[in-house]
Structures are given as structure tokens and as C-alpha cells.
Amino acid sequence: MFEYFYNEIFRSVIIGFGSIFNGIEVKKSNSVIKVPLAYGPTQKFLARMQQEADLSKPVSITLPRMSFEFLGLQYDPTRKSTQTQTIINQTPDGANVKKNYLPVPYNMRFELSIMTKLNDDMLQIVEQILPYFQPAYQVPINFLGNLKEKRDVPIQLDNISMEDDYEGNFDTRRALIYTLQFTAKTTLFGPISDVTGKVIKKTSIGYVAGSSAPGVSAERDLSYTTTARATKDYTNDVRTLIAENVDLLETVIEVDDGTKITAGKYVYIGQEEMLVDSVTGNKMTVKRAQDNTTVQNHVKGAQVFGIDYTAAKEDSALIQFGDDFGFDGSIE
């Protein structure tokens, strides 16, 4: 039942949580100070301050500073999904496909502590944090390494508490402490397994057509071969620029260099795919809105991307798993 796997999900969420508060700054009269952030319990920093609370010492812990800590886990039944459903990802080289069952929802509890000496420093820090949580802030986390399974993890602000004690004499250092409690709604993936075989990019279907008429034995074999065809540019292959504004009805489009366009191939301008019927000089005649794209207006100078123009690295060979694609086929 159990096997070793480690997707580094907890580690990734902890790092992602800390990165949110990594750029907090406090402005003094003539300078801007970046507030240091460390992982660890608040008590650790307070104990150090109490042990070295004498203000006459040349070195002591610097304020303001922040610390955060991962407190615990809790299963979240409100986000439960079907246990037997799987998700499939393609490896970066496109050669293999991996599968994984849908993740299990868990909530991770965090605590962020802010320690300052001056109340104005505290107000500056808190005001840089609170507007982003309404009540959640989305953090993109890469869950499955190089399989490109990136998901937004909502981090929700649950509670804010304040502590400001004036106990002690005038030689004792004061610490103003705000504690912010958060919940990160993450998901846990199980082991990744291989999908048997490679990605299918070409299929062939055979038909046997016969006649059912009495006394007729005519029979014909048909073979239909189809290959996945890219419907957008993956290689950033800019062929030329359009030399005029193009409205929704135009089918003859002038470009800067017609020698870079080939009849019978597809081009992509803006979010519209077009099939080039013919090229005369610097004018190309096209069929608009191919493969379910939408006819759009285009402005002079817009880039014309070529699809499958570069033989060494064609777009059709780079179709990503889950993308829409078309088919090129032939009947024999």
C-alpha cells in the first residue's frame, strides 16, 4: 500500500508563505529599512531580548523584525473531491505522460509575529500587509516539480492580536508585538505513476467498404491517417509585420515582406489564426478565424507568427498536453 514519494508540497507552501512578507520596509526620517524575516517561534526572539535587555550594551537584537512559524495541519472536508479521478501531466520533453490521483485537501496554519520598538514602525508594517487579504491572498505554488502542476493556494487571514506590555524599568527594552494567524488551503498529492506508452501524435484508421446489393461483391479498403497539428505558435516564430490596419471583413492583407509567408500554411496574428491561400508580392489572401478562433481587428505593425515554418523545431512537435489542436489528414 505505502511507497516512498516526496512532492515537497509542505516545504513549497512554507517557502511561498514566507515570500509574501519578504519585502516589507519601514521608512525612517532619512532612510528606508527592510524588515528582516526569519523562521522560528516568537518566544525564541523574546528570550534573546530578555537575556540582553540592557540598552547600554553595544550589540543587541535589532527591531523591527518579523518571524513566522508553521503551527499545524487540519483536513478540510469542504474541499473533498472524488478519490478515483486522476489528473494527467506531460513531462517537459513531451515524451511521456504521468498520472496522479486528485489531491487531498488540507489546511496549514501559520503564525506571523511582528516585533517593533516604536508604534509608528508597527503601523507601517501592518498597513503594508492587511490590504492584500480580503480575507485571502492567492499564492501560485508549483506542486509537482517539473510536471508544471501549478496551483493558486489561498492564504486566509484569520485573526490579529496585539501585545504591548510596559512592565519593567526604564532600562528594560520595550517590545510591541502583533500576531497574525493565517490558514493556507493547500492540497496533498500522492505518488506519481507512469502512463503506459508515449504521447500519441499520429493515428491511422482503416475502413473496409463493401456493397450489400445482391450479386455485387465490390469491396474497397480505405486508410485514413491523421497527425496532430498545432493551432498556435509555440516557437515565437515572427515571420513579418502587417503593413496596414485590418478590419473584420478583409481577406487580403498587406505585410512588410511577403517572401516570409508561404501559401498553404497557417499564421497567427493577435489571437486569430488564419490559413494563407495565396501570396502575391507583399499581399497574402487568407481564410480568417480558423480552428475556432475569433475574427479580430488588427493594427498596422502587428506581428505575424508562423505555424510550422521552422523544420528543425516545428510547432506541431511542441503541442503541450491539454492544449487544443487540429488535424491534418489524408485518405488512401
Tens digit of each residue's pLDDT (9 = 90 or more) over 42-57: 666 555 555 554 444 4
Q: Are 256 and 269 in contact (CB under 8 A)?
A: no
Helix (H, G, I), strand (E, B) or coil at 12: helix
Q: List, for residues 72-103, the tens digit of each pLDDT value.
A: 999 998 888 766 666 656 555 555 666 666 78
Report phi then psi at 19, rounded to 5.
-65, -20
Considering the domain boundaries, does residue 129 fall inside one? yes
Q: Are 173 and 246 within one domain?
A: no
Q: Is the pLDDT of residue 274 over 50?
A: yes
Which one is predicted more confidently, 173 or 101? 101
CB-based contacts of 164-170 (< 8 A; 24+ apart in sequence): 168/53
- Residues with Cβ within 8 Å of residue 318, at least 6 apart in sequence: 94, 230, 234, 235
For residue 202, being part of any structural domain is answered with no
What is residue 60's predicted lDDT score, i.e. its pLDDT?
A: 43
Q: Average pLDDT for residues 113-130, to the nearest whole number?
A: 90
- The span from the CA of 245 to the CA of 299, in Å, is 4
Cβ atoms 105, 75 nearer than 8 A: yes
DSSP characters over 96-125:
-EEEEEPPEEEEEEEEEEEEESSHHHHHHH
Phi–psi pair at 211, nearest 5 degrees: -105, 135
The enclosing H or E element of 23 equals: none
DSSP 305: E
Residues 6+ apart with CB under 8 A from 144: 7, 89, 100, 189, 192
Residue 303 within any structural domain of the chain: yes
Q: Determine which of 149-153, 194-198, 200-204 has the lowest per-residue pLDDT on average.
A: 194-198
Calpha distance 267→25 (Å, rounded): 48
Q: Is residue 189 domain-resident?
A: yes
Residue 73 has a pLDDT of 93
Q: How far is residue 197's CA from residue 83's CA, in Å, rounded to a whole number?
A: 24
Same domain, 264 and 179: no
**CA gap 162, 188 in Å, rounded:** 33
β-strands 150-164, 176-188 pairing: antiparallel
Grid cell for residue 227:
497527425
For the question of whether the overall pTM of this predicted structure is more than 0.85, the answer is: no
Check residue 47 and give left, alpha or beta (phi > 0: left; psi -120 to 50: alpha). Answer: alpha
Amino acid 328: pLDDT = 57
Q: Please say whether the beta carbons of 300 and 244 come within 8 A.
A: yes
Indicate whether 34 belongs to any domain. yes
Based on the domain organization, do 150 and 239 belong to the same domain? no
Q: What is the pLDDT of residue 187?
A: 87
Residue owning grid cell 493547500: 186
pLDDT of residue 59: 39
- Which among 167, 194, 221 is the end of a domain? 194
Is the pLDDT at 324 greater than 90? The verdict is no
Instruction: Find the range with the poorest average confidence among 100-109, 137-146, 212-221.
Output: 212-221
CA 261 to chain CA centroid, nearest Å? 33
49 with 164, same domain? yes
Domain count, the chain: 2
Domain CATH for 274 = 2.40.33
Is 204 contained in some domain? no
**Domain presence at residue 238:** yes
- Torsion angle of alpha carbons 43, 44, 50, 54, nearest 10°? -140
Question: What phi-psi label fits residue 264: left (phi over 0), alpha (psi between -120 and 50 degrees) or beta?
Answer: left
pLDDT for the residue numbered 236: 79
Given pLDDT bands bounded at 50, 70 and 90, which one contains residue 242? very high
102 and 85 in contact (C-beta within 8 Å)?
A: yes
Do both 182 and 272 map to the same domain? no
Q: What is the mean pLDDT of residues 251-269?
A: 91
* Domain ranges, residue 280: 229-331
Half-sphere exposure of 196 (CA within 13 A, CB side): 0
